[in-house]
Amino acid sequence: MLKTIEWVGDVNGYLRLLDQTALPCETRFVDCHVPSEVYAAIQRLCVRGAPAIGVAAAYGVLTGLRDLESVDRARMVHQIDSVCNYLAESRPTAVNLFWALDRIRNLSARFPQAAADELRARILDEAREIEEEDRRMCEAMGAYGAELIQPGDGILTHCNTGALATAGEGTALAIIFAAHRQGKQIHVFADETRPLLQGARLTAWELMQRNVPATLICDSMAGWVMREGRVQAVITGADRIAANGDAANKIGTYSLSVLARAHGIPFYIAAPSSTFDLSLETGASIPIEQRASREITEGFGKQTAPSGVETYNPAFDVTPAENITALVTEKGVIQPVTRERISQLLT
């Protein structure tokens, strides 16, 4: 698999991102040398997936500290805060972004005697640790989640939750990859995931790269595929999970949870502990990003709707905890999904 995120060089280096907007037809990388380039890459989905956004933002802070080795500590701390605040505005829903930036921001408090040069070095070390932690979390989620999969299961997934969305093998796709390696003879049904087709462009591509048997379907086919008995489990990722287990994920996930419940199919969400926002009581408080209308009316450069038509384009929806059979984390499986079980496992 191609490397999604890479820091090139030392503290004065730059961030290299696999441009996911070009996949699957073209392999292209974007080099980010300043914070505005990192911001743009996150906002236009060059890098996407909650864990990957967090890793990219952590490295991205360094692009705003280049050539500041001679400044005093106070100015460095101010600049770190400024860059973190700026990058935090790039996308509002994925809590991993804020989690990673808070870790970077808090380094100045953890090392009160560190000079400007030392702070930059510690930021690079912390960003690398965030990346490595994500790899380990992906591996653990894959192991825990694979235990929920039975031999011969048909698995429906939505959006992209693999190596492209993380620093490791993924969240939901890590489970699928682990089950496939175990020889469970699974078959994956990948929703195309409108309007930006992350399932078609990215998930189908990743599954083919790993030789996982898979079938691409339109989002509107999911209910019928369930009715036909082809699906025994639904597995998705999440961008933010509230204290009660309500989970925000790519638009269309809520609908799948309703369909799965109606057909008696288990609905699983895989997400690292960094995706949980225990400060939010329920999913009603999760901010939902609104995207540009042209993603619906002029997808991939071709007009498919009348000029001037009104659109509504939320990037995410919220699946209520009662529709979720289990949450798979790197610390274990939360089942049933209740506030108490979440608190027990994560705190």
Q: Give per-residue pLDDT as tens, 211-269.
A: 999 999 999 999 999 999 999 999 999 999 999 999 999 999 999 999 999 999 999 99
175 and 237 belong to one structural domain: yes
The catalytic position among 153, 191, 219, 239 is: 239
Spatial neighbors of 294 by CB under 8 A, at least 6 apart, are: none
Query: Where a domain ends, among 105, 138, 171?
Result: 138
Query: Where a domain ends, among 96, 112, 138?
Result: 138
Residue 1 is predicted with a pLDDT of 67
CA–CA dist 243, 343 (Å, integer)? 8
DSSP code per residue over 197-253: THIIIIIHHHHHHTT--EEEE-GGGHHHHHHTT--SEEEE--SEEETTS-EEEETTH
302 and 188 belong to one structural domain: yes
Residue 2 is predicted with a pLDDT of 80
Distances (CA, A) of 9 to 6, 59, 63, 124: 10, 12, 12, 10
Edge-to-edge order in the sheet of strand 29-32: 5-8, 14-18, 29-32
CA–CA dist 11, 21 (Å, integer)? 28
Residue 66 is predicted with a pLDDT of 87
Q: Which amino acid is at 284?
A: A
189 and 266 belong to one structural domain: yes
**Bridge partner residues of 347 (DSSP):** none
CATH code for position 221 = 3.40.50.10470
Kindly report, residue by residue over 7-36, the tens digit of the pLDDT.
999 999 999 999 999 999 999 999 999 999
Intervals of the chain under pLDDT 50: none
327 and 220 belong to one structural domain: yes
Q: How many domains does the chain have?
A: 2
36 and 79 belong to one structural domain: yes
117 and 162 belong to one structural domain: no
Nearest to 253 by CA among 324, 202, 173: 324
| pTM over cut 0.85 | yes
Residue 70 is predicted with a pLDDT of 75
176 and 320 belong to one structural domain: yes
105 and 241 belong to one structural domain: no
Range of the domain at 297: 146-346
Ramachandran angles phi, psi of 126, nearest 5° = -70, -40
Q: Catalytic: 134?
A: no
Residue 181 is predicted with a pLDDT of 98
37 and 68 belong to one structural domain: yes
100 and 181 belong to one structural domain: no
130 and 170 belong to one structural domain: no
123 and 252 belong to one structural domain: no
**Sole residue written with tokens 């380094």:** 107
CA–CA dist 30, 333 (Å, integer)? 36
Query: Where a domain ends, among 103, 138, 173?
Result: 138
CATH code for position 44 = 1.20.120.420
